[in-house]
Amino acid sequence: MDTVSENTAFGGVQGVYSHASAETGTEMTFSVYVPPHEPGAKLPVLWYLSGLTCTHANVTEKGEYRAACAEHGVIFIAPDTSPRGDDVPDDEAYDFGKGAGFYVDATEEPWVKNFRMRSYIERELPALIAECFPAADMSRQGITGHSMGGHGALTIALRNPDRFKSVSAFAPIVSPLNCPWGEKALSGYLGPDKSAWREYDACALIDDGLSKSGVSLPNLLIDQGTDDNFLKDQLKTGLLALACKKAAIPATIRMQEGYDHSYYFISTFMADHVRWHAERLR
């Protein structure tokens, strides 16, 4: 792991780091905020997965999480959204290719070699964090994300119920099977067989019974802006509310009046999400 930058913030250290990823076959960059703590202390970890077109930098620069993380003693980790580099395949559209990994392991050419964000987030990066950040308590992890990253947070938490004690999201894509963004991405990365898409759809995972293990999504918080121009056609928050109700999963889904899809919205509620996770990760 190489250090790109480190800066003191709220008594802790905001770092940006890079490493050669075996999963993506590329150099990957991520940010980690470690709040002030006593020597030898172990702190809970909160993952943040970013949305379409973003890198680690968007939330690191605009997310306004550090004060809350310092107050509650939470390590905040923000990975990139896809592999990058001159040799990585891409698409001209903003919602596919670089910046739009959708947190899947691709099975279709030419994406299969590099687009392995599921394995990168679920296995490779956590192992690196455990090795290089001794304050990180990997037995106490929460996950959150925005839009495409909210989709990633929900599906990763559902598939790994023994790892995450809390999950939240800002304006998540709740059912890629039922929206244009998801249909384009999943068909491109995984092929036309929609049965293979279900493990990347939060509503489908809940409907298929993963939630009935008794530990999946034990704590769920969603914030969604009412003025989000993607709400009706792409995000479809109501489908998640219905799936959780049918599966008897407790879910706090808050429709925030007047808010859109931007980081103005995310930064407004970020401190509340950090506090909410901290309470459940104690």
Active-site residue numbers? Answer: 147, 228, 261
Give Cα 57 to chain centroid, integer Å.
14
Our CA angle for 211, 56, 184, nearest 5°, is 60
Q: Which of 224, 240, 268, 247 is nearest to 154 (CA)?
A: 240
Task: Give residues with Cβ within 8 angstroms of 210, minimum separation 6.
Answer: 158, 159, 161, 216
Task: Give residues with Cβ within 8 angstroms of 245, minimum separation 6.
Answer: none
Rounded Cα distance between 178 and 204, Å, is 10
Work out the end-to-end distance of the chain between its first and last CA atoms, rounded to an integer number of angstroms. Answer: 29
φ, ψ of residue 256 to 5 degrees: the values are -95, 110
What are the C-alpha distances in Å from 53 to residues 62, 98, 128, 206?
15, 8, 25, 27
Q: Contact at 8 Å (CB) between 241 and 247?
A: no
What are the C-alpha distances in Å from 262 to residues 107, 134, 148, 243, 267?
31, 34, 13, 26, 9
Give the burial class of 117: count Cβ atoms within 10 A of its Cβ; 0-12 exposed, 13-18 middle, 19 or more buried. buried
Helix, strand, coil percentages in the chain from 3-state DSSP, rounded to 5: 40, 25, 40
